């Protein structure tokens, strides 16, 4: 087992690596700072005041550093390195640069984004980002299409899938996203005023069956190489640039999971504006922007996906009816997987700052109940969805219960 880094040893690590010369121009006066935003890996920023340069060091330990009893494989760092390489090949402007990967010590050194904000925090502040719809739409279309059977030959795809087998972290998702929120389980937690709503969810076997169908699809449908943890907490951005980070959960799975996870986190932000934007007119305007962000992201994704299929597809799917059915299924999967991700963020184990920065429990629960009602609609009505407007209508018509 490798030794866990500290701020001091993180600096020493860089000084003893090729990056001292190649990145920091030989400067030996470096400083280190721990970053505590993540739950899973140790994170350090190492900086040079002389060159004004910084790198981010990620180290995988055999457990989640914030939850030491939660055992995790150190090989996740290898998975992340591999996925960043694939994403960087197809979307270099949205992918962090890799400076060094150390398989022995499970360390990854990547680009540091000092002038970027975590998207979730930016949405809580009411920021608007003019590039994010295009950046995310293109990122999802390209990374997913180029690792799918529509682009890769059968032999290429089957050779690539085992390189990203990620059983332990997939099992985390299978449990925390698709199982535990829909049954009584000690990992679940929620705002107390939601207790009656949660009881109804746990008693709703129709909803649970939908989630289990999605779980089975998640476990068996190796459509493309997923980021598999794509939400507003995995996006760093500013007004001119968007970077997608932390793909360590990645594996080959259903395409709709990545799209749905991201879009449903925008729905959570929509619901949380109940508190973050107390002025009614301001709240309505910002919610309309979030809805349009969902709309434009899907439209850009869809247009790019179809363009890639037309121009770079392998030509083994000569059926317009199949093409239409494929895209419709993708939209419906997006809604279903989005619902699963959203439910786990409200009544499961892994919650989000959008809601948990709201100190008034009743106000928080009111906002969360709005999210729950929108997610119910996505889960239960998804088989009838034919356009992104169907998903948006469900959100616009949702109301809080409390």
Does residue 151 sit in the same domain as residue 24? no
What CATH number corresponds to the domain at position 185? 3.90.1200.10
Using N-to-C axis directions, what is the helix angle for 255-276 and 280-312, rounded to 10°?
A: 170
Does residue 122 sit in the same domain as residue 107? no
Does residue 209 sit in the same domain as residue 103? no
Please report whether residue 379 resides in a domain: yes
Please report whether residue 123 resides in a domain: yes
Query: Which has the higher per-residue pLDDT, 70 or 118?
Result: 118
At residue 34, the 3 state secondary structure works out as strand
Please report whether residue 2 resides in a domain: no
Does residue 273 sit in the same domain as residue 223? yes
pLDDT at 86: 98
Q: Which uninterrupted H or E stretch holds 112?
A: none
User: Which pair of structure tokens corresponds to residue 169?
Assistant: 């972290």
Please report whether residue 47 resides in a domain: yes
Reported as a single tens digit per residue, the pLDDT across 322-381 is 999 999 999 999 999 999 999 999 999 999 999 999 999 999 999 999 999 999 999 999
pLDDT at 38: 66
Domain count, the chain: 2
Does residue 175 sit in the same domain as residue 92? no
What range does the domain containing 59 cover? 7-111
Final residue in a domain of this structure, among 65, 91, 111:
111
Does residue 273 sit in the same domain as residue 322? yes
Is residue 61 within 8 Å of residue 42, measured between CB atoms?
yes
pLDDT at 68: 78
At residue 139, the 3 state secondary structure works out as helix
What CATH number corresponds to the domain at position 35? 3.30.200.20
Q: What is the pTM of this model?
A: 0.96
Does residue 62 sit in the same domain as residue 190? no
Does residue 282 sit in the same domain as residue 248? yes
Does residue 223 sit in the same domain as residue 280? yes
Reported as a single tens digit per residue, the pLDDT across 142-154 is 999 999 999 999 9
Please report whether residue 78 resides in a domain: yes
Does residue 331 sit in the same domain as residue 200? yes
pLDDT at 304: 98
Please report whether residue 374 resides in a domain: yes
Is the pLDDT confidence value at 257 over 90? yes
Final residue in a domain of this structure, among 95, 111, 127:
111
Does residue 178 sit in the same domain as residue 279? yes
Alpha helix positions (H), 100-249: 119-124, 132-145, 154-160, 167-176, 195-203, 205-220
Final residue in a domain of this structure, among 111, 133, 155:
111
pLDDT band, residue 55 (cuts 50/70/90): very high
Please report whether residue 285 resides in a domain: yes
Pairing of strands 224-226, 251-253: antiparallel
pLDDT band, residue 180 (cuts 50/70/90): very high
Does residue 175 sit in the same domain as residue 204? yes
Closest by alpha carbon to 362, among 402, 320, 325? 402
pLDDT at 286: 98
Which residues face 35 on adjacent strands? 43
Please report whether residue 1 resides in a domain: no
Q: Average pLDDT, stretch 43-57?
A: 95
Reported as a single tens digit per residue, the pLDDT across 267-292 is 999 999 999 999 999 999 999 999 99
């Amino acid at each position: 087992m490798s030794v866990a880094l500290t701020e001091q040893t993180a600096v020493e690590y860089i000084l003893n690596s090729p990056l001292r010369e190649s990145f920091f121009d030989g400067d030996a006066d470096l400083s280190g700072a721990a970053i505590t935003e993540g739950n899973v890996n140790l994170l350090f920023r190492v900086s040079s005041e002389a060159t004004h340069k910084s790198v981010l060091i990620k180290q995988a330990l055999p457990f989640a550093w914030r939850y030491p009893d939660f055992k995790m494989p150190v090989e996740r760092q290898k998975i992340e390195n591999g996925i960043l390489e694939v994403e960087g090949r197809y979307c270099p402007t949205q992918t962090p640069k890799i400076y060094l990967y150390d398989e022995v010590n499970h360390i990854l050194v990547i680009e540091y984004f000092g002038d970027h904000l975590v998207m979730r925090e930016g949405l809580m502040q009411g920021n608007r980002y003019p590039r994010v719809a295009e950046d995310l739409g293109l990122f999802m279309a390209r990374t997913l299409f180029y690792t799918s059977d529509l682009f890769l030959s059968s032999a290429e795809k089957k050779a690539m899938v085992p390189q990203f087998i990620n059983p332990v972290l997939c099992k985390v998702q299978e449990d925390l996203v698709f199982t535990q929120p829909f049954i009584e389980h000690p990992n679940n937690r929620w705002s107390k005023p939601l207790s009656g709503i949660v009881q109804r969810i746990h008693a709703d076997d129709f909803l649970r069956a939908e989630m289990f169908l999605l779980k089975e699809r998640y476990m068996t449908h190796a459509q493309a190489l997923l980021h598999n943890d794509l939400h507003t907490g995995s996006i760093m951005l500013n007004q001119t640039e968007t970077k997608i980070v932390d793909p360590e959960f990645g594996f080959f799975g259903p395409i709709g999971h990545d799209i749905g996870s991201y879009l449903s986190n925008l729905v959570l932000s929509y619901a949380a504006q109940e508190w973050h934007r107390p002025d009614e007119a301001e709240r309505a305007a910002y919610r309309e922007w979030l809805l349009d962000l969902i709309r434009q992201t899907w439209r850009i994704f869809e247009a790019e996906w179809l363009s890639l299929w037309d121009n770079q597809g392998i030509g083994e799917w000569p059926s317009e009816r199949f093409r239409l059915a494929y895209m419709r299924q993708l939209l419906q999967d997006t809604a279903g997987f989005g619902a699963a991700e959203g439910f786990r963020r409200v009544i499961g184990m892994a919650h989000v700052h959008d809601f948990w920065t709201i100190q008034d429990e009743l106000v928080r629960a009111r906002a969360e109940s709005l999210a729950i009602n929108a997610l119910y609609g996505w889960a239960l009505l998804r088989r009838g969805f034919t356009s992104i407007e169907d998903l948006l209508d469900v959100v616009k018509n949702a109301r809080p219960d409390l």
